[in-house]
Amino acid sequence: MTAERWFFDTNVLVYLFDAKAPEKQRLAQDLFRRAVDGAQLVVSTQVLQEFFVTVTRITKRGLPVNEARQFMMSLEKNVEVKLITRQVIYAATERIEQSGFSFWDSLIVESARAADVSVLWTEDLQHDQRIDGLRIRNPFNKVY
């Protein structure tokens, strides 16, 4: 039996380290453990870039650069990292026309679709929405 494939948006990874939001941090950590234990977890190079910028710039309380880099490198053991291709970028521009999503959200959606995942975990889109067979789940929604 093949494990379900999940795609994590940047915000899920960021909350792993956000002690200022303890409930979201706990939920992100629980979801990350579930993903590593029972799913095939996928992120894109966009997610890695956004993660690094976000967690290292949060005023003076952000992660040190070396810790952020070490976490990203440790992901390689458990997470498939997909490159953003020009085809994904073009598909994202079409998604903008179809949905009105921002470019960055469209790029996440199209990266998840290109990675052939069943679930995109993000707080940026409507919970339980379906996009061309892709299910959107908000890990911080108490309902899921």
Count the alpha carbons within 13 Å of 82 in the hemisphere toward its beta carbon.
27
Residue-wise burial string across 115-138, b where 16 or more C-beta atoms lie within 10 A, e elsewhere: bebebbbbbbbeeeeebeebbbbb
pLDDT digits (tens, 9 = 90+) for 121-136: 999 988 889 999 999 9
CA–CA distance, 47 with 54 (Å, rounded to integer): 10
Phi/psi of residue 43, each to 5°?
A: -135, 165
Domains and CATH numbers, the chain: 4-137 (3.40.50.1010)
DSSP string, 28-45: HHHHHHHHHHHEEEEEEH
Cα 89 from chain centre: 17
CA–CA distance, 6 with 137 (Å, rounded to integer): 10
pLDDT digits (tens, 9 = 90+) for 99-115: 999 999 999 999 999 99
Helix intervals (H) in 39-134: 45-57, 65-75, 86-99, 103-114
Whether pTM > 0.85 for this model: the answer is: yes
Task: Please determine, for residue 60, whether its predicted confidence score (pLDDT) is greater than 60.
Answer: no
Mean pLDDT of 133-141: 93
Task: Please determine, for residue 12, whether its predicted confidence score (pLDDT) is greater than 80.
Answer: yes
Asked if 120 contacts 112 with a C-beta cutoff of 8 angstroms, the reply is: yes
Instruction: Measure CA of the first residue to CA of the last residue in the chain; give whole Å.
Output: 24
Contacts of 36 (CB under 8 A, 6+ apart): 78
